[in-house]
Structure 1
Amino acid sequence: MDNTPVAARVEASLGLLLRRSTRAGLYAGLVDQLEGVNETTYPVLSGIARLEPVSSSRLAAEIGIDRTATTRYAGRLADAGLVAREPDPADARSTLLRLTERGRSTIDVARVRLVGQVEDALASWPADERAVFATVLEHFVETLRSR
């Protein structure tokens, strides 16, 4: 039996999960052969999908990429026809980012792929352990978000 404290085990696992290399590997499978999006721009596209309409500065804060990079990646996504910029009705100097229909279709494909990757990762787990994991993970995330 592992005598490492539970919190330390969780911290170590989260550290591995959140590593850039882990995320890049995950994103690579999500964006494979999706035109206009890659491992670098996927977090921006996904963030816009969750928050739209959203300013670049708010998006940058939410996804953890600096505002300059976020703006640059959003520009690439706009050039690819996945994201549209529109005036911010609350601030004439600012623009908001929103998915285009093509962007929405692209993120839908990526999310189906993500569900597939999770299903594959959990396929060897007994059904009751998968259900407990989902419940506990939801509870853990909600606890962190409420702080």
Structure 2
Amino acid sequence: MTEDVNVKAGRCHCGAVCFEASLSDGFNTIRRCTCSYCRMRGAVAVSVEMGGIKLLRGDDMLTAYRFNTGSAQHFFCSICGIYTHHQRRSNQNQYGVNVACLDGISPFDFLEVPVLDGVNHPNDSGNGPRRAGTLQFIPVK
């Protein structure tokens, strides 16, 4: 494992899938999405450029799911079912990685997470990405 602060180790819940992710811009790209799949999945994702995910173990354990246009691929462990990453529909040269799969990182580490409008996807509307809101975590003191 490299010492680069933007390279994070990650894994699924059962550990069958292990990877390294080279974050595009640290955690500055965190987001949630309102599309039907992301809304049900509920994950916080961060961007990684194509080639920025190095599977260390479990490539054969990953299952892919596609829906609607089929351009985005959502990967999850076939054993524990945890979503690890997806190839983005809005930028096919990037992956979104589930921050909860990254060692030492929790979605609750981020007090505010931008929520993007995936219902009115930029690839369908012809407009750029639109922020639908902000998800806040307010810790109890």
Give the alignment's TM-score, normalised by structure 2: 0.30
Task: Determine which structure has the larger helix proportion and give its number.
Answer: 1
Give the alignment's TM-score, normalised by structure 1: 0.29
Q: Which has the higher contact order (CA 8 A, sep 6+)?
A: 2
